[in-house]
Amino acid sequence: MIKTLVSPYSGFRSQKLNFDKSCKKVKPRAVSMELTITQPDDWHLHLRDGDLLQAVVPHSASNFRRAIVMPNLKPPVTTTAAAITYRESIMKALPLGSSFDPLMTLYLTDKTQPDEIKLARESGVVYAVKLYPAGATTNSQDGVTDLFGKCLPVLEEMVKQNMPLLVHGEVTDPSIDVFDREKIFIETVLQPLIQRLPELKVVMEHITTMDAVNFVESCKEGSVGATVTPQHLLLNRNALFQGGLQPHNYCLPVLKREIHRQAIVKAVTSGSKKFFLGTDSAPHERSKKEASCGCAGIYSAPVALSLYAKVFDEASAIDKLEAFTSFNGPDFYGLPRNSSKITLKNSPWKVPDVFSFSFGEIIPMFAGETLQWQPFFN
């Protein structure tokens, strides 16, 4: 439900164009609103473990009802037993009274067996299997080296069990330009995979290019979907270098050119059911980001809903926000939509500069910036 409030400035004659952090033009809004929607889920989330888990899980639990939790810990979550243990750790870290439901995943390796997929389905807590090409991103060194040569029996069992494959869609060949690795992955891995196993449900995670948009749109609805992050909707690769090197805007897959950002915005605000919310919120302690060899990952959990609302508002598509945040994901996974509601109010608030903990600091996405949309829970 959208409530529109007429601004006292709605009759002004001219507007000054501003530029946001991604170097794109943004027009000031002349109307304020509040929007009540079904509580969203996060279909791609890193919660880490240990002290970091304790620090960050309240942010996700306060905004989202469910989340697909990534398995790239040290050691990785490669078995159903490990996934159950990890879920228990998450549940213990939740704030008292939280209804947050972590949906677990397995980390696919060259040694994963089909029987593990059966166990995963029977567990009732594992909802997907994650493909990391070996060396593609944080803690992916144990990932897959030969998908068709070593993992085909597992993929066939996933089809039988209706278990989705979540794909980090980048090749790792060092001779391939880092900005082209998603495109090449689609051509050399993903398209052949879909042709070979057309009944396999696949989520292309954190898409970053026009090529990925076109690929997903070309696939059958319900068989291939895509998660989209706030950073790939709001930032282009200029954001890595404005005013000096910006480590807190560094993620993998890396930010791309403006034409790709625009293509992703157009896709998610079109009303297509193939795209859904997945923050890829990936916390790192500040000293590991601001380092000579900094970690990849953007911590967006505390601000993600505000940022998604910003994207849809600026695209004049705020009426399509609920489907993207709250309907398309559970529909793809065959899960019920949430019954709880949240209200997003056009009420400016400032993002904290830093979150401080006993072990160090975490810098959130858009730290110190003022955002227009703020979530309130009913």
- pLDDT, averaged per 10 consecutive residues of the chain (378 residues), comes to 40 36 51 87 98 98 98 96 98 97 97 98 98 81 90 98 97 95 97 97 98 97 97 98 97 98 98 98 98 97 98 97 98 98 97 97 98 93
Q: Is 42 assigned a catalytic role?
A: no
Full 3-state SS string of 122-179:
HHCCEEEEEECECCCCCCCCCCECCHHHHCHHHHHHHHHHCCCEEECCCCCCCCCCHH
Candidates 130, 248, 256, 310; catalytic one: 130
Q: Is 206 assigned a catalytic role?
A: yes
Rounded to whole angstroms, the Cα distance separating 306 from 153 reads: 42
Q: Strand 202-204 and strand 165-167: pairing?
A: parallel
* Beta carbons within 10 angstroms of residue 241's beta carbon: 10
Rounded to whole angstroms, the Cα distance separating 132 from 137 reads: 8
Q: Is 101 assigned a catalytic role?
A: no
Candidates 59, 168, 232, 289; catalytic one: 168
What does the pLDDT read at residue 17? Answer: 34
Candidates 41, 42, 46, 101; catalytic one: 46
Q: Is 248 assigned a catalytic role?
A: no
Candidates 59, 183, 201, 206; catalytic one: 206
What does the pLDDT read at residue 1? Answer: 62
Cβ–Cβ < 8 Å for 238, 256: no
Domains present along the chain, CATH in parentheses? 38-340 (3.20.20.140)
Candidates 41, 142, 280, 313; catalytic one: 280
Q: Is 220 assigned a catalytic role?
A: no
Candidates 44, 260, 289, 310; catalytic one: 44
Q: Which of 376, 350, 349, 344 is nearest to 32 (CA)?
A: 344
